[in-house]
Amino acid sequence: MKNRLRVLRAERGWSQQDLAERLEVSRQSVNAIETGRYDPSLPLAFRIADLFGLRIEDVFENPSTAG
């Protein structure tokens, strides 16, 4: 699933490790989500969206409506 995680993280000047610590997951998890290799569960997706102060659909692209 495509997402804006890398851009949002870069805007805040956070490394993958910084984001991982804020989300309490491993850096590998952040890397896997950023590169689209892993789709997070709904609770983790909410945590990510909350951390950036956005809605889930502002972070993750809805696959059913993606062009």
Partner 1 sequence: MEISPASVRFLWRFIGATLVYGVMITGATWLTRAINPPPIGLIALSILPAIAIAASLIVVGLYLVEETDEYVRKRQAVAMLVSIGILLTLSTALGFLQQRSLIGSVDLLWAFPAWCVLWSVTQCWMAIRDYRRSKDAA
Q: How far is the CB of 6 from partner 1 (least distance, A)?
A: 10
Binding site for partner 1 (CB under 8 A): 24-29, 31-33, 35-38, 40-41, 44
Q: Which of 6, 30, 4 is nearest to 17 (CA)?
A: 30
Q: How far is the CB of 25 from partner 1 (least distance, A)?
A: 5
Is the alpha carbon torsion for 20, 8, 66, 48 positive or negative? positive
Q: How far is the CB of 4 from partner 1 (least distance, A)?
A: 15
Q: What is the largest CA-CA distance in the chain?
A: 33
Q: Which is nearer to partner 1, 42 or 66 (CB)?
A: 42
